[in-house]
Amino acid sequence: MSSKQIARKCKWSLDFNTNKSSDLPAPPAYNPTVLINQTEVVKDQRLIFKRSWDLALGPLKQIPMNAFIMYMSGNSISIFPIMMIGMMLIRPIKAMFSTQVTSKMANGAQGTGQKLIYFLGNLCNVAIALYKCHSMGLLPTHASDWLAFIEPQIRIEYYGGGISFI
């Protein structure tokens, strides 16, 4: 059967192979310039400005989550806390060295402020990781860590995990 016979048979079927151009008037409230305005919205500077500030504030938004993860990892020296601290140090340091690549969108009057906020946020994340290293005793902060003839710090108290030593 040809397509004309099918079209005659079913009035509801559409034949997309034929080109029929009709000069129908536009429906009410139709504005053909709306499509042109949508392309301008994509290029709107306000959206670029907002996106660049979101990018700059990203490391600051990660601080509470990273602090909670460092708290939950504990102070024992095992593989999980060491991996967490390693990633906590490596990611912000890499981000600080790639500030120019990350902030390509941050051009204009606010560009230097956005770069500064981005850098300070990553610096805060590094500070949290270094504090965790210090609390675990991984940083050499005492003279006995550097010099062999100085006595190490004397522990004030000992504990033994709920076992009575009496």
Total domains in the chain come to 1
pLDDT above 70 coverage of the chain, percent: 72
Other beta carbons within 10 angstroms of residue 4's beta carbon come to: 10
* Calpha distance 147→20 (Å, rounded): 92
* Calpha distance 56→88 (Å, rounded): 18
Does 6 reside within a domain? Answer: no
User: For the segment 30-44, what is each residue's pLDDT rounded down to a tens digit?
Assistant: 877 766 655 565 567
Does 24 reside within a domain? Answer: no
Does 158 reside within a domain? Answer: no
Does 154 reside within a domain? Answer: no
Residue 64 has pLDDT above 90, yes or no: yes
Does 150 reside within a domain? Answer: no
What residues make up the domain containing 94?
Answer: 45-71+79-138
Does 111 reside within a domain? Answer: yes
Exposed (0-12), middle (13-18) or buried (19+): which is 15, by Cβ within 10 Å?
Answer: exposed
Does 107 reside within a domain? Answer: yes
Does 152 reside within a domain? Answer: no
CA distances (Å), origin 121, targets 9, 81, 101: 70, 22, 16
Scanning 17-110, the segments in alpha helix (DSSP H) are 34-42, 45-73, 79-97, 99-102
Closest-CA residue to 119 (of 68, 69, 58, 66): 58
pTM: 0.62
Average pLDDT over residues 75-81: 87
